[in-house]
Structure formats: structure tokens, C-alpha cells
Structure 1
Amino acid sequence: MSDSSTWDALPQRLPDWFRDAPLGIFIHWGAYSVPAWAEPTAELGAIADDLGWFAHNPYAEWYFNTIRIEGSPAAEHHREVHGNAPYDDFLDQWEPTNFDPSAWADLFRRAGADYVIPTTKHHDGITLWDAPGTGDRNTVRRGPRQDLVGAIAEATKEAGLRFGVYYSGGLDWHVRPTEPLESGKDVSDLKRPRDDEYGKYCSAHMRDIIDRYQPDVFWNDIGWPDENFHFDEGGLGELLEYFYDQRPEGLINDRFSGAHQDFVTTEYQAGEIPEDQPWENNRGIGLSFGYNQVEDETQYMSGPRAIRHVVDAVSKDGRVMLNVGPRADGTLPELQVKTLEAVGEFMAEHKAHLAGSRGLGEQEIPGTTWARAVENDGQCYVFLSGPQGPLTISAADLPAGYDWPGEGVTVELPGEDAAPITISASSVNDPS
């Protein structure tokens, strides 16, 4: 290993395209989309009982693990509905007959997204491309019999969006099987693979992805095997050097067990927003990332709620990666589409205010229940929600340094169930 091959020598990146991106799209699609079942309990971060989370996991993409926890509702469902069939039967039953990646990409573009990140290998270990070392346990050789990663990558780029990839480096329940994970400590410490051989298996996958699909985001999950933290052949250090060299505008997230990062991630309500670091919140439109047939309107974010979620993140100098979970046949659930269409209507008018803005955070404005502000090119944009009706806002209610002519502006709040409205004011001081 050369002296220059160290973690500190790796680039620290915040490319313009990512800095200016208010919204990305996550895609969780896998063999788990066939059973498409999880108990719709609560958002991550809203359940305090660690053991309770895993037995009652609302993430449908964790089905392979949850059905192995004795006494869990998922185990009972799997027994009653699927007769305790082996998980890999779902790979063979997966038939994406209505998969239209161009239609997906067009929807994501209309929603105002700048980047799209599908799962390439989740914790079940099934790869959505013909990955090296996987034999026939991938979507090219079985089930869909398609390179799904390649199809999504091509459609995403043709739509003018950036393409990234999710990869589970920390867990693989097929290549490194364990007893069921029943606690956060199981995931982070007790039952995760640490060996260099598994790390080189993952590294070979990611090199193949880089060469085939040229992703601009390497979004890893659940850490990386400890013994692979080196810069020799097949090591994580060498892999990240290769990624940065091949993708000049590429960047990585913070889920490499602390080895290196370009941006911080939070998930649903879990995680802390960092100070003075780029960050991204990721979450499903519902409680699950993978499609969960049990979820309905009561679990899904409405369009206005999703809009407020994006604006809130941008007002705090972050961004949101909003997840879609397609059905096994490749169709997007109607409620997910409805939410993205609503976000798109809002972004068509307001994305220019959000992209590249400086966050001014939460605001206390009498008569509103929710107010966030950003500054962009000398203008302050304040996004407001509250009870339906007229509201007069004075200059004193604005962030310091901004004003408008006259004593106040009267606006008509559309109500809590509508998208926020926006007012703008000019800078009277240098906001920097």
C-alpha cells in the first residue's frame, strides 16, 4: 500500500449537482415484493423498544428475516399464506410483466427529482443484475430474467437524471447466513459478517456496477466487513479509490462503518441532522420501503405532507430521498404515484426556489402551524401552512434581513390538507 493510499487521502466531495438537488428517488424492489407483507406498525425512530421493532418490523424488504423470528406476525402470515415456503421461491415467482422503466423515470422527473437510486442487492443477497459470484441467484438467471439495474440506469439517464446505486455491504443473509436479527446490536455488532472474503465479494460486485452502469452515488447500507478495511486488492479503500477515479462527480454516503463519507443520512425519524455537513433524509412514502400490500391511506404520506417534508429538509440545508416500492409486476402503487404527482405540481413552480438555496430553518409566524424559509439569489422564500383563511404577515415576522414595501402582506392560507403557499421578500442586508 502506498503512502498516499489512506482514508484521509480520499476525496471529500459535494458536487454541484448534489448540492442543488432537493429531491431524489429511492427504489426498493426485490423478491420481497412478491409476498409484499409487513406489519404496519410505526416509522423508524418512533418505536423505542429495540426488540419490538424487529419482531414487528414494518419494512417489507426485511421479510426474509422477520419470518424467522418465532412468534412474529410475519412468521404467522408466512405459515398461513405461503406454507413456510423457502424464501427463494419468491425469486422464481417474481414476474415483472408490467415493468416500464421509462415511465418510472418520466414520473420521477415530473416529481422534480434530480437523482434515482435503486436497490442492486438488499440484505437477502439477491442481485438485480448478473453479479459476479452469484451463480443463478440473480434476476438475470431466474425470476424476472432481466438486468433490472441496467434497465433502470438507462431510463434514468435518458430522462436527464443522475443515477446512483444502493448496495447492502453490511448484510447478506444468503452468503453469510445468521440466526434471525432481533436487535439493533445484532445488526451493528453480534451477527454481521466481518471477514475479508465477504468484503472482497462485495467489492467485486461494486466494481462490476461501476464499470457497467457508471453510478454517481454509491449508497451503501449497514456498514462494511471490518477485515476488508484496507487498500490492498479487493479492499474497501481500493474500491473507493476506484469509484472516485472513475466517477469525477460521484459521492458516497455515511454507511461504511465510519471509514469515509461525503454526506450524512437520516432515516424516517432516526438519526441526527448534522451541523455544517451535507445530509439527506430517506424514507418511504408509507412505513415500508419495499411494497407492503397491507398499507393504505392511513400509512401513506399525502402529497402536501410529502411536500412539507422536502421543504423542511431543504430549509435545514438537506435533501430528501423519497422511496417508491413497486409491486412485483413492475407497477407503482396508485397512492405512491398520487403523492409523487402532487409533489411534482408543487416542484414545477417552486423547485427553482429550493435548488441551490441556503436554509433559514423553521419560522415562528403567528397564525400559521408550519413555516419554513430559504434564501436564494437574494430573495427569501417562506413556505406556510395553517388553518384555511386570510392571514396578514408583517415584516417583523420575516427572517432578519428581509423586508417588503408597506406594513404587511395578506395571504390566503389553503388549509392544513393542502400544499403550503409561498411568499417572498427581498434582502435589505447582505444575508451572508
Structure 2
Amino acid sequence: MRGERETPAWYRDAKFGIMIHWGLYSVPAWAPLDDEVVRLLGAGRTGPDGSGSGESAPEGSAGAVERSDPLARHSYAEWYQNTYLLDGPTRAYHRRVHGDRAYADFRSEFVAAVRDWDPAPWADLCAAAGGRYVVPTSKHHDGYLLWPSAHPNPHLPQWQTGRDVVGELGAAVRDRGLRYGLYYSGGLDWTFGNLPIHRMADVAASVPDAPGYARYVDAHWRELIDRYRPSVLWNDIGYPPAGDPDRLVAEYYAAVPDGVVNDRFSRDGADVRTPEYGTRSEIDPAPWETVRALGLSFGWNRQETAEHLLSATEVVRLLADVVSKNGNLLLGITPDDRGVVPATQRAVLHEVGRWLAEHGEAIYGTRPCEVPAAVTSAGVPVRFTRRDDVRYLIVLGDPGPEFGVPGLSLPPGARLRAVGPAAAQPRVRPGPDGPVLTVGPLPPAPAHVFAVSPGP
């Protein structure tokens, strides 16, 4: 809740969303395989309050990374337009492969890809993965629009798609029963200047402060709201100083009463905080969402292989951890230069979806328990969620045929059942440090789930 407004229940119940970055940067699609930015964004930001801070700085925002000036080695391929101008490996790659070709020249290949693009496989994949909402980019920092806007770029002609990528994808996503949000880079637009950005500390000063840019951003957001009625406004890198985000958000709530607004609008109040590659160590009473790519980049990096991606097991365990602490997971996928999600990513998402199809009752629609976590007597991590009077134990590994959970308290006469295709229904008996669960041999799975219900 922010002020008097409560974060909509549909969002708190959804738990798992998919973010999609696709744009001109998907044509060169290259960045160093250096996880320094990822590590620093997530490091030390696990507290639930503002002092430690539990708030990973937004992508590229001031203060996110100060210790090593990493932009020349930025692992985010969607920043290619900025990174190839800096003295580093991306510039060397660009000169070797593309010579002195300007970034804007990649538009021709992207226009061809958009012509052949099909939104159905993206929507099918998001649904198969168990995602409940989808947030694609409508404009990233390079300013290129993925819808035919009535407010074209004043500096570059035809700096937008003729085909309505945003609208067609939205229709496909909603046809599959999923919610549809939109990402828009409100703070940065490199067609308005301020390139290159050398240090993370310079990002805030790179937000265009001209009133004309504020009007441009306001017009785009209003157009996106009017045309597509997004369930989520996912702004990035702040808002133009001359803009009026409070008025924009008020108008959005009037148009979409159960809409969700993130915390990157440079305003007080938000429905959800969005740490990047960051988690929490304890339950956060306020709704939050960890946003991260499946790999090291939100845009496709042609260098990434399966070894650079989270495995399905890692995604499931991250999701369980985040949900146990009152959060959502927004997981980024990266279509390639043809608009096809790579097979390695599709394989991970399908496996995650299979797990959620069998165990999702412990994830969707749940809320945190009194404590989020424990470990079994053998040291296997456990996460707790609840729905009404049912408590779920999500064991993040194979606990063995019999295991205890020290400190776990079960009500008298509690009933225990396995969720999903467990080999046998569990039994429980008292142990010296807490209840001992006998579960028998379990099939391989990223995590095993057991539900505890009150006795009759």
C-alpha cells in the first residue's frame, strides 16, 4: 500500500511475470559477459527497509554502481548504443564486425524482423511458463518506438515501427488470459542527446530536462494508456524534471482502476518497488518485485549460452524465495534479431511452467507466513507461504525420505499432504527439535511442496 491506495489483489496474487526486451539493440546484440553490474546491483541490498536498503537501484540509475565505472564493460546488451561509444570491448567488437556503421543503421534489419514477427509464440511461451502478466518494452533508451505513435520522434524520422508490435502482442497475451503491462524508458532517450554516459553516477544528469521532452514523454504515456489500457505502468530511469507524473498516474488510475504503477516515476508513492537483481533477507510488508533477466542481459546477447542463464531449478527456487517474502518475480527474456526467443531460454521457461502446473498452489495467490524460511535437519532450505489456513512448505532440494524442520510448529491434529506428483503421501511424527516428516523417495524436482492444513 502507498498512502490510501492498496496494491491491487490481482498483482499480489500473480507472483510471476515475464519481461520482454526487443528493439534495434537486438540486431548487434553484443555485450561483454561480465557479471560485475549484476553482482553490484544485487549485492548488499537484501534488507526490507530503506537503510540497507533492500532497494537495488533501477537499471542505469545514479548510485547503482560507483566502485568500478563499469559502463564500458556493461553486460546489458540493450545499452549497446551507449556502450559501443566507450573505450572498451563493445567498441572493439563493433569496429571489428560493423566498422564505422552508425547505430541508427541497424533499423533496416529490425524493420525486416518486425515485418516477419509473430506475437503468438511469445504469448504461448509466457503462458506455458506459468507467467501471469507480461511486460514488454514499448520504448527503450534508444528512443525507438514499438508502436505507430501519433507523436513521432522530433529528431529522427520514422524512429518507430509501422506495425503495432505493442498492440498485437497485447491482444495475443490477453487472449491467453494473462495481464498485460508496458515498459517505457521515461528518464532516458538518447535521441535527445547526452550520449555517451560514462559512469552510472552520470545517468541522473543525462535525463533530458527540456520541457519539450517532458511533453513528449507525457504524450506517449497517455497514448499508451488510452490505446492499450495496460495493467502495469513500468517506467524506467525516473521521469523528466519538467513532467507531471502525479497527474499522469491519477489519470491512469481513473482509466484503469486496478492498474499497477512502479516506483521509477520520480514521485512519492508507488504500488510496487522494483529492485533490480536484488532480493530481501526478510519479509517486506510492502509489495515488491525483483526484476532480472534470465541471463546477464535484458536484451539479447548473442554470446550468452545456457551456462550464462539461470536454470529452471534456480528460477523455481528464486521464485519461492521471493514469494515467501511478499514479492513478485519479473523475469526477463530476450528475443533475438529475428524476434525468436532462443531455444535455451524456451527450455528453461517450459520446465518452470511444468513445475508451476503441479505445485503452483504454493505460489499463486499466497501470502507470507510469520517467518519466511527455515532449513531441514540436513540443511536443505525451506520457504513458507500460506493461503487462508493452509501453510505450504517449499523444500528447495531433495530432503531425503525423512526429514525434520527444527522450530516448525504444527497445530494439533494437523493434516499433511504432498503437492504435486510425490511418490507417497507424507506422515508426520514428533521429533526432538520439531516435527519429522516421512515422505519416502521423491521424484526429481526443482523443489518439493507439502501443505499443512488444520485438523478436523
CA offsets per residue over residues 82-141 of structure 1, 9 Å max, x none?
11211111111113265221221122112111111100000000010122132643342x
SS in structure 1 of the partner of residue 233 of structure 2: strand
Amino acid at match of 1:111: A
- Of 83, 88, 102, the residue aligned with 1:86 is 102
- Tell whether 2:393 aligns with 1:375: no
Q: Are the structure 2 counterparts of residues 413 and 108 from structure 1 closer, same or farther at C-alpha, using a change threshold of 3 Å?
A: farther
Provide the residue aligned with 1:117 in structure 2: 135
Q: Which runs of 5+ in 1 are unaligned?
A: 1-7, 229-234
Percent sequence identity over aligned pairs: 36
TM-score by length of 2: 0.83
- Tell whether 2:24 aligns with 1:31: yes
Correspondences of 1:2-13 after superposition (within 5 Å)? 12-13=5-6
CA–CA separation in structure 2 for the residues paired with 1:16 and 1:414 = 34
Q: Are the structure 2 counterparts of residues 395 and 69 from structure 1 closer, same or farther at C-alpha, using a change threshold of 3 Å?
A: closer
CA–CA separation in structure 2 for the residues paired with 1:275 and 1:395 = 23
Q: Which runs of 5+ in 2 are unaligned?
A: 41-64, 416-427, 431-435
Provide the residue aligned with 1:390 in structure 2: 400
Provide the residue aligned with 1:334 in structure 2: 343
Shift of 1:428: 7.0
CA–CA separation in structure 2 for the residues paired with 1:414 and 1:85 = 56
Shift of 1:345: 0.4
SS in structure 2 of the partner of residue 348 of structure 1: helix
SS in structure 2 of the partner of residue 202 of structure 1: helix
SS in structure 2 of the partner of residue 20 of structure 1: helix
CA–CA separation in structure 2 for the residues paired with 1:158 and 1:267 = 29
SS in structure 2 of the partner of residue 46 of structure 1: helix
CA–CA separation in structure 2 for the residues paired with 1:77 and 1:164 = 34
Correspondences of 1:33-432 after superposition (within 5 Å)? 33-42=26-35, 44-47=37-40, 50-70=67-87, 72-94=88-110, 95-96=112-113, 99-131=117-149, 132-134=151-153, 136-140=157-161, 145-174=162-191, 176-188=192-204, 190-228=205-243, 235-269=244-278, 275-360=284-369, 361-386=372-397, 390-394=400-404, 396-398=406-408, 403-404=414-415, 405-407=428-430, 408-411=436-439, 418-427=445-454
Q: Are the structure 2 counterparts of residues 73 and 255 from structure 1 closer, same or farther at C-alpha, using a change threshold of 3 Å?
A: same
**RMSD across aligned positions (CA):** 2.5
CA–CA separation in structure 1 for the residues paired with 2:352 and 2:178 = 17
**Is the contact between residue 38 and residue 296 of structure 2 (CA under 8 Å) also seen in structure 1?**
no
Q: Are the structure 2 counterparts of residues 406 and 139 from structure 1 closer, same or farther at C-alpha, using a change threshold of 3 Å?
A: same
Shift of 1:253: 0.1
CA offsets per residue over residues 399-422 of structure 1, 9 Å max, x none?
56585553332235769x841111
TM-score by length of 1: 0.87
Shift of 1:12: 2.5
Q: Are the structure 2 counterparts of residues 63 and 271 from structure 1 closer, same or farther at C-alpha, using a change threshold of 3 Å?
A: farther
CA–CA separation in structure 1 for the residues paired with 2:446 and 2:440 = 12
CA–CA separation in structure 2 for the residues paired with 1:201 and 1:320 = 31
CA–CA separation in structure 2 for the residues paired with 1:67 and 1:19 = 39
CA offsets per residue over residues 262-316 of structure 1, 9 Å max, x none?
1100111378988321110111111100011101122101111111111111011
Shift of 1:425: 1.7
* Greater Cα offset, 200-209 or 357-366: 357-366
Equivalent residue pairs, number: 406
